[in-house]
A = this chain, B = another copy of it.
């Protein structure tokens, strides 16, 4: 018998442990990460890092298992397939990106500058999502989209739509006030593209800082600020 079948709650179709069975196994390899029950989370983090560095196809499930001290077959106890693991990485990335975004735009004080400040916060939150420490999940999504099944892609599209939707009202206000002159829909696609492409060239150890990058975006895309 493999992992028990259960109702699917996520497209990544992870098989979470059936019963805790705690304190019954053999001694842990290292004392760290004894907070068992988070082996799944460790797999996700290792997979995100390796997928980002090497790409999905160039990373074997054995690599990922080894990175968390497991043996070759064990990741399939937590995830039903390699693609399900990839999908879970992307879903986790989008969830945290959406949360970071929501946190960034809340409590922006009203006033004539509100939309500008919201725009600045959205841009900065996006850069944090792409370039923050350990934030490998969304970059993986950006260039490993093709490796999903179409069903997985559809599920992720909902999360992406929700993320992108937050930009629209801000861009509309800026458009109405003359700060943004391009059509809102195209502007959103182009701006998000400009930001996202930074995964290809941004190096936190040299060149501009994220603050400088954010300001460069503001003066590049908007008419007066």
A positions within 8 Å CB-CB of B = 54-58, 143, 145-147, 180-183, 186-187, 189-198, 200-201, 208, 212-213, 216-217, 219-221, 223
Contacts and interface: CB of A to CB of B under 8 A. Distances in A.
A221 to B, nearest CB: 6
A54 B196 CA distance: 21
A182 B57 contact: no
Nearest to A191: B194
B201 A216 contact: no
A183 B183 CA distance: 24
Given A57-B55, A189-B198, A193-B193, A181 B219 contact: yes
13 contacts: A58-B146, A145-B200, A182-B217, A183-B216, A186-B220, A189-B198, A190-B195, A190-B197, A190-B217, A190-B220, A193-B193, A193-B196, A220-B221
A216 B57 contact: no
A54 B147 CA distance: 8
A54 B146 contact: yes
Nearest to A194: B194
Contact of A189 (B193, B196, B201): B201
B187 A220 contact: yes
Given A57-B58, A193-B198, A194-B191, A182 B220 contact: yes
Contact of A197 (B146, B196, B219): B196
A200 B200 CA distance: 15
Nearest to A186: B216
A58 B194 contact: no
Among A147, A216, A220, the most chain B Cβ lie within 10 Å of the Cβ of: A220
A223 B223 contact: yes
A166 to B, nearest CB: 18
B193 A200 contact: yes
A175 to B, nearest CB: 11
A142 to B, nearest CB: 8
